[in-house]
Structure 1
Amino acid sequence: MTAQGTFVPFDWTPQEPYDAADGVSLAFITLSKTFEGDLKGSSAVTMIVSSSEHEESRSYVAMERVTATIGDRSGTFVLQHNAVSDEGDDSLTCTVVPGSGTGQLKGLRAAHPHRPRRRPLLCLRPQAALTRPTAPGPPRRR
């Protein structure tokens, strides 16, 4: 099963850079999101952003606690983001932090690498992850 949907960010709150040298700065940003689609809910996000004088080259890492319902299952989980824009060549990977699922989302596993300019904005595969065997098996090749 694939859960797809969109989100709306709000309360975007950038902080002053905590480190800046030679035209490159590091800063925290906090924001909130609401989700619609197969996943309904909200989240709180904390990001660390690296930016430079090159507007098309930046990156961020983030942790996001999501409170949601996916299908008929409710709970929370944490998403880890890793995004890079290299002169307009963008990539983003979001991964559910193993062991972060609670309630009926306990055991949720999902990872989704994608190009941000090519939607969907949200793509998780919760059903397969929630029904995976409890005993670890060999690593899967992608």
Structure 2
Amino acid sequence: MTSHATGTFDLDSWDAEKPFHEGAGTKQTRVRVGKTFHGDLVGTSVTELITVESAEGGPLAYVGIETVHGILHGREGTFVLQHSAGSDDGTPATQWLRWLIVTGSGTGELTGIRGEGRIVVGADGTHSWSLDYTLG
């Protein structure tokens, strides 16, 4: 049976390194992000991202791996999310942010978790999320 979870998260830290590649109108940067989750998932995470920005500084895309420690609908454990995100034109209006739960990454009461979700950034900068998952 598939369960649906929703909530918000706070960005606690955003530590970007110096860009490791610049050219062809873009720059690529490694970023380490810390988050606190609220809602159906209560917990924290650490994410390692590779971002692509336009020469003007607008976000174009990112990929990443996020390790989540928390309680999801009353079940405690950890799992890993694989991120994929982009924007058709570098603006929030065309942005899409997706994540997949890495199969086999669940621990504790979240062992066997599988699923996928989305992140939405509101006009005021708040981050909300949704996650559809199963526990095997």
Common fold by TM > 0.5: yes
Higher Cα radius of gyration = 1
Q: Which runs of 5+ in 2 are unaligned?
A: none
- Name the CA distance, whole Å, in 2 between partners of 1:110 and 1:8: 22
Asked whether the equivalents of residues 66 and 80 of structure 2 are also in contact (C-alpha less than 8 Å), the reply is yes
Deviations 1:38-70 (A, max 9, x none): 100000011000111255551000110000101
Structure 1 unaligned regions, length at least 5? 132-142
The one-character-per-residue Cα deviations of 1:4-53 (angstroms, maximum 9, x if unpaired) are 11100112111111111133111101110001111000000110001112
Stretch moving more, 11-20 or 115-124: 115-124
Distance 2:68 2:18 in 1: 26
Question: Between the two proteins, what is the percent identity of the paired residues?
Answer: 34
In the alignment, structure 1 residue 19 sits paired with structure 2 residue 21: yes
Q: Which residue of 1 aligns with 2:131?
A: 124
Contact 1:112 1:124 in 2 (8 A): yes
Matching residue of 1:101: 106
Residues 30/57 of structure 1: CA separation in 2 closer, same or farther (3 Å cut): closer
CA distance in 2, matches of 1:81, 1:61: 5
Correspondence list, 1:62-101, <5 A: 62-87=64-89, 88=91, 89-101=94-106
Task: State the 1:113 CA deviation.
Answer: 4.5
Task: Tell me how many residue pairs correspond in the alignment.
Answer: 129
Report if aligned partners of 1:34, 1:43 keep a CA contact under 8 Å in 2.
yes
Runs of 4+ in 1 over 3 A off after TM superposition: 54-57, 113-120
2:54: which partner in 1? 52
How far apart, CA to CA, are the structure 2 residues paired with 1:68 and 1:122? 15
Residue aligning to 1:135:
none
TM-score when scaled to structure 2? 0.84
Relative to structure 1, is the Cα distance of residues 57 and 47 closer, same or farther in structure 2, using a 3 angstrom cutoff? closer
Question: Under a length normalisation based on structure 1, what TM-score does the superposition of the two structures give?
Answer: 0.81
Q: CA RMSD in A?
A: 2.1
How many Å separate the matches in 2 of 1:44 and 1:114? 16
